[in-house]
Amino acid sequence: MDDVKNNTDLEAPFSGFGGTLAIIGVGLISGSFALALKDKGYAKHVIGVSRTKASEKKALELGLIDEALPLEEAVRKSDFIYVAIPVDATIPTMQRIMDLVTDKQIVADAGSTKFALCDALKNHTMRNRFVATHPMWGTEYSGPDAAVKNAFVGRACVICEKEKSNPGAVALVEHIYRQLGMNIIYMDALNHDVHAAYVSHISHITSFALANTVLEKEKEENTIFELAGGGFESTVRLAKSSPAMWAPIFMQNRENVLDVLNEHITQLRKFKASLEKENMDYLYELMENANKIRKVLDK
């Protein structure tokens, strides 16, 4: 893949991009990414790499990939390598990939944590071929079946440590995400992980905890289903998310998650205290203050 000289080169479909994409992991994010690039006519051939034959087979059946290969062979045959696997597997897998790539290839990841990965690769001789990204989109579903078209439209994508990546590689990745309808935000890896803990990771922990609370207190499952309304369903929706994906995220971003979790517990205690003391004014004040989130979300 030739380096892109400037953004005007990118008005044509991927100047110098041979059209072979490898997705490492064939699940929700990578599958949706492959569908989008195929739909745009950019990815002419998609190679899938998966830990399981079942996922490879399903990805082939769904048309997410055109062939399945082992990691090393997939990397050698590809122009663009997109890594979307659990974050605990990403670092060793990425180190293997970076040992194989040439200065004509580009690698990007979609992980929900960035600091540990960027730190692990900071001294690699091919570091400039890697663009650290986090498309801020996902659902509670996983696997090849979860992939959907137009998944990224209107969402934010964070690019970290832009200055450490080859300018042409960054320009191409930016173009890809913009063509998928995403808004690009730039951050250093450490700040990304702090903000991700507050806007994403705590939401998942809260959902898991609420689901466990209800399951513990409500032993009659039929009653849950009969009484559950839209509010309950939307709040615990994330509890259906894959532990294989989210447990490593929580652990890798442990310090930031603990910080926000401690604040969340403090807020819960305030609600608890207002109820214990039958303090209607304080309860009202807490909720009124929470309403300020509208100004953020309704922008």
92 Cβ partners below 8 Å, 6+ apart?
A: none
Topology of domain 7-187, per CATH?
A: Rossmann fold (3.40.50)
User: In the chain, how long is the greatest CA-to-CA distance?
Assistant: 68
Mean pLDDT to the nearest integer, 254-264: 97
Q: What is the DSSP letter of 233?
A: H
Domain borders along the chain are 7-187, 192-297
CATH superfamily of 192-297: 6-phosphogluconate dehydrogenase C-terminal like domain (1.10.3660.10)
Residue 234's pLDDT band, with cuts at 50, 70 and 90, is confident
Asked whether the predicted pLDDT for residue 2 surpasses 80, the reply is no
How many angstroms separate the Cα of 264 from the Cα of each of 57, 68, 75, 98, 261? Answer: 42, 44, 43, 39, 5
| Span 11-68, pLDDT tens digits | 334 444 679 999 999 999 999 999 999 999 889 999 999 999 999 999 999 999 999 9
Q: Would you say 191 and 164 are in contact if contact means Cβ atoms under 8 Å apart?
A: no
| Span 67-80, pLDDT tens digits | 999 999 999 999 99
